[in-house]
Amino acid sequence: MEAAVRWSPHGGGARKRFLLVDVADSSLTLNQIDSFPKSRRGKVEYHAVSHYSRLPPIAAFDWSKSDESIVALGFGNRSASLVKLRSNDEGGSETLATLKVKQPRKGNSIAFSTQDWLALAVDRTRSDVCLFIYDTRRAEASADPIRRLCAAELVSSVRFFPGQPQEIVTGTQRAFVRIYDLRDAASQSGTVVAQASTRNVNNIAIDPLDENYFAAAGSTADPCVTVWDRRWMLSPSSSSSASSTSTNGAVLEFNPVVSNAIETTVWSLRYSGQRRGRLALCSSTGELKTIDMTQGSEPLQTTDQYGRSGSGGRSSNCYVSETRVLEAPYHDTRHGQESKTRIVAYDWVNEITDSYSQPMITLRANGAVHALQVPTAKPCAGITPRQDMILAFDRLTITEPAAPSQITGDDTAPHHLAGDVNAGASNEDEKANSVEHGAPRLCDRDSPQLARLLSPGTLRQDRCRQGYLFDCKKNADIVAGNFQLERLWEIVGRYETIAKEGMIYGSWDLSYLGISALWFEQFGTSPHRHLSHSSTKPAKAIVGLGALKKIPAFEGERTSFPEHRQLCLLMCGWKFTVDTLEAECQELIERGLYYQAIVQAVLHDHKHIALNLLRTLIRSKTIENIGLGALLATDEMNEAQKEMCLWMAADTSDPALKALLTFLNTGDWRDVMKTNYLHLGYRMALGLRYLNDTELSGFIQSETARGVKNGDLEGLLLTGLGEQAMDLFQTYIAKTNDLQTAVLATAFTNPKYVHDDARWDMWKQTYLEQMLGWRCWAQKARFTVRHNRMARVKGGKAIPPSPSPPPQTELSCLHCQAALGTGSGRYINPPRSSDLGLTPASADRTATRISSGPAAHTGTVCLRCGRHLPRCGICLTWLGTPDPARAVSASSTSPTSTSPRTPGAATPNKLEDCGGGVDVLAQLLTFCVSCGHGFHADHARMWFAKWDVCPVADCRCVCGVK
């Protein structure tokens, strides 16, 4: 070891520090970060906080886990000392204590525990002890050691287990790794609990995220690394009677682990601390490498190329998922650095930066300190169903195929599959040329446009976990980049807002009705639309609602139904005041829709607002000055100006600007309605203002039919969320398979305003089962709870009326997904004989036994397929059966307390009956949403009061902290 660097375990936020150990200069320096690079590689800017020099030759060191200023040093010519690092303003650094050893020897390794115990491993001298344990919390830090271990045995490396600070692992005699238990104060030598035979005993490193695994490296010129699982290691007495190859607990062995083209040594091993199973190592030749290890769901046999040879029949399910060489050795003529700039030390930066990489701080032979980003995802390449090539690393590069036909002015519009595309292009020719030749397009991982490239199944699941539910604004943010879904949630949100403000007049509830229903006065067949037996005419209800909402008088085409038009304009999002119009235009500008904001103002007959907006955008150089202001200010246009509007509209790719120029050219909004430059909301508003009653009726009918036929979600503006919306969503689901969005949107009116539509019940049940398959149990419960609240009429009554409301959560069979519980009517048909592997006669007897036997009534088996509930992960009895221990203890006090447990949550009445000293949790079951294991709730409470890890063998889930 020439030098060392160690990231501070005490830093965080703006206070980021690291320690430099210079072996050649025998000095320590505590440094603070000034600037940490965010790029993949970069130089770290820092300044020294404290410095301690003129020390004896340093052979080992460790940083206190509780005090940032305390460092323990092992020396080459004497044992060890504790030093305190302070700045010159605080009096300078000093040596606190020199650890007492009978005969001063070289300190090979030194380690702090989380309880401030200190382990010191020294060279062997005759029959003296070589491992000393000190308690640094004592008043006399240089007091005698509290434990002495390894008599006459060389100890080359030592580490404390972070989670069990009174257990240590050591490398001894260049032949063994041992685990000692130091809790027995009466035994000064400790207790050896496990031992393995190996020649890799140096630089021991323990995975802090799974302390069952630790690694160690070989000695000088032996670049080997072995990874052990302490659960497979045996005690010395047991291992002495068994073969060493079958009981040493090694799960992986790397020989060699780095390039050994020339003589090399592994200098350091460090686990990530943020990703389980990720190990980094550095060699004397400057090679820096990471190894990602993971554990499969089932044990591997003997095929792993890194597996321990001669494993004696025991196979491990731990395997190497990826290795990554971050820096090649200096002797690599193609990729290596010079010897004076090679990496000599490194450490992980254990601070959360982003989910895509973990930083690492490196020290080079010339003293330079650099940062290195280690990605968590593999670089990959793929072809999407759209025939786009994707290269993914820190960013995505999307290469689109060249267009098969000649590119026109319209074809050069920027595609929306990437983020900032061709930002450096200076003119339209360069943009067109880049598209024609399939130039790569860069896109950040967080870009919303990437949702279009994701698989639909994964996309739906991700949306569900992000909270895709009944909050329209949040839903619009989740689907950002998908214009159709953004428009959908904008329309549904507007309906919801208007309904909350009140859409009831007389005996009619007009909530969530679309323009078509309001114009033709067709309010649907739901009995909850008509609130009383009094007869209020639909036309009178519409007129009354307009008066209640204080909608101003209609201005536009001559009509017999001005109130109908005004209420329909409200559904379109029309702004009836200047203040709301200006706020809407400003919001559009903030979203980057500059010309759409100008169109919005012109559409409302407020040209002065449009001119003010245009002037501000041009002066701020947000948009170019193309002479649009002069055209807007002109009352009558001459032929030259009309011709200019035509060629400007042909050249631009902005649909809003095309629509505005078309209007300026002809002076008639009807010409704009014939195009698709503006979305349906704008075109419908134009129709409501400028078409006569006959033309408007035909326009609404044709657009409604088109929307339903094509499954166009913008058509909800016309259909509302009533019966016609179900037909529209049926077409939408058939085209896109997006059942999720259809269920969430129609849940606002089903079953309250849509009367007895079997399609929605089927869609809802299918979506709930999808969420079960995604393991989104919490999201499923939220959906059920919030939908039950929405499906209530005036007075708080649920729809449909039910003597007992359905459960918000329920247990399902793992085999057939049928609901468990005698009260459920879902999937209770008898099982088929082929499902159980029975003959017809025995199948009939089995079906009778399943549906009517005692076990079925206690909920221990599925009513449909006959499978048991899983076993409790703690007591190993079937869930849903009586606890024998509790039944015996309770039999003397209450005969009813021996009744079997029933699956599911207890009802309020049951909770009240559990009084009088009976534990409520004794009647409940609990399941971990991460690993899926189930427990009796009272057993789980007692277990997780002491431990965090799952009690099921070989399950590494930390259930207690999730």
- The closest of 83, 91, 31, 30 to 55, measured between CA atoms, is 83
Q: Is residue 306 a contact partner of residue 253, using CB atoms and an 8 Å limit?
A: yes
In the block, residue with structure tokens 């940062």: 371
- The closest of 119, 91, 126, 124 to 105, measured between CA atoms, is 124
Q: At residue 359, does pLDDT exceed 80?
A: yes
Q: At residue 193, does pLDDT exceed 70?
A: yes
Q: Calculate mean pLDDT across residues 82-98.
A: 86
Q: Specify the pLDDT at position 178.
A: 93
| pLDDT band, very low/low/confident/very high, at 885 (cuts 50, 70, 90) | low
Tokens describing residue 263? 């003589």
- Predicted confidence (pLDDT) per residue in 569-613, tens digit: 999 988 888 888 889 898 888 888 888 888 888 888 888 888 888
Q: Specify the pLDDT at position 946.
A: 87
- The closest of 562, 560, 561, 618 to 589, measured between CA atoms, is 618
Q: At residue 739, does pLDDT exceed 60?
A: yes
Q: At residue 839, does pLDDT exceed 50?
A: no
Q: Calculate mean pLDDT across residues 92-106.
A: 83
List strands edge to edge, sheet with 117-122: 107-112, 117-122, 129-135, 147-151
Q: Is residue 553 a contact partner of residue 575, using CB atoms and an 8 Å limit?
A: no
Tokens describing residue 529? 């639309």
- The closest of 903, 902, 959 to 933, measured between CA atoms, is 959
In the block, residue with structure tokens 């959908």: 488
| pLDDT band, very low/low/confident/very high, at 103 (cuts 50, 70, 90) | confident
Q: At residue 295, does pLDDT exceed 60?
A: yes
Q: Calculate mean pLDDT across residues 915-940.
A: 75
Q: Is residue 919 a contact partner of residue 938, using CB atoms and an 8 Å limit?
A: yes
Q: Specify the pLDDT at position 292.
A: 92
Mapping DSSP onto H, E and C, the string for 262-274 reads CCCCEEEEEECCC
Q: Specify the pLDDT at position 497.
A: 92
Q: Specify the pLDDT at position 829.
A: 44
Q: In the chain, how many H helices and how many E strands?
A: 29, 36
Stretch among 259-273, 617-631, 709-723 having the lowest mean pLDDT: 617-631
Write the CA distances from 826 to 799, 819, 829, integer angstroms.
19, 6, 9
Helix (H) or strand (E) run with residue 428 in it: helix 428-436
Q: What percent of the chain has pLDDT over 70?
A: 75
| pLDDT band, very low/low/confident/very high, at 417 (cuts 50, 70, 90) | very low
Q: Specify the pLDDT at position 387.
A: 59
- Predicted confidence (pLDDT) per residue in 453-502, tens digit: 555 557 888 899 999 999 999 999 999 888 899 999 999 999 999 998 88
Most confidently modeled range among 48-57, 83-92, 328-337, 770-779: 48-57
- The closest of 504, 497, 498 to 528, measured between CA atoms, is 504
Other CB atoms within 10 A of residue 313 CB: 7
Which residues pair with residue 732 across a beta bridge? none
Which residues pair with residue 162 across a beta bridge? none
Q: Specify the pLDDT at position 883.
A: 67
- The closest of 583, 615, 616 to 600, measured between CA atoms, is 583
Q: What is the pTM of this model?
A: 0.54
Q: Calculate mean pLDDT across residues 358-368.
A: 91
> What letter represents residue 761's amino acid?
D
Q: Specify the pLDDT at position 310.
A: 42
d(CA 179, CA 652): 74
| pLDDT band, very low/low/confident/very high, at 933 (cuts 50, 70, 90) | confident
Q: Specify the pLDDT at position 285.
A: 92
| pLDDT band, very low/low/confident/very high, at 880 (cuts 50, 70, 90) | confident
| pLDDT band, very low/low/confident/very high, at 110 (cuts 50, 70, 90) | very high
Q: At residue 349, does pLDDT exceed 80?
A: yes
Which residues pair with residue 266 across a beta bridge? 283
- Predicted confidence (pLDDT) per residue in 649-675, tens digit: 888 888 888 888 888 888 788 888 888
Q: Calculate mean pLDDT across residues 61-74.
A: 91
Mapping DSSP onto H, E and C, the string for 185-238 reads CCCCCCEEEEEEECCCCEEEEECCCCCCEEEEECCCCCCCEEEEEHHHCECHHH
Q: Specify the pLDDT at position 227.
A: 95
Q: Calculate mean pLDDT across residues 434-451.
A: 51
Q: Specify the pLDDT at position 244.
A: 44
Which residues pair with residue 132 across a beta bridge? 120, 148
d(CA 613, CA 586): 9
Q: Calculate mean pLDDT across residues 311-322.
A: 67
Q: Are strands 17-22 and 3-7 parallel, antiparallel or unpaired?
A: antiparallel
Tokens describing residue 745? 């949107």
Q: At residue 312, does pLDDT exceed 60?
A: no
Q: What percent of the chain has pLDDT over 90?
A: 29
Stretch among 184-198, 511-525, 734-748 having the lowest mean pLDDT: 184-198
Q: Specify the pLDDT at position 953.
A: 81
Q: Specify the pLDDT at position 416.
A: 35
In the block, residue with structure tokens 């048991």: 868
**C-alpha distance across the termini of the chain, in Å:** 40
- 363-396: string of b/e by CB count within 10 Å (b at 16+)? bbbeeebbbbbbeeeeeeeeeeeeebebebeeeb
- The closest of 64, 65, 61 to 74, measured between CA atoms, is 61
Of 243 and 749, the structure prediction assigns the larger pLDDT to 749
State the average pLDDT for the chain. Answer: 79
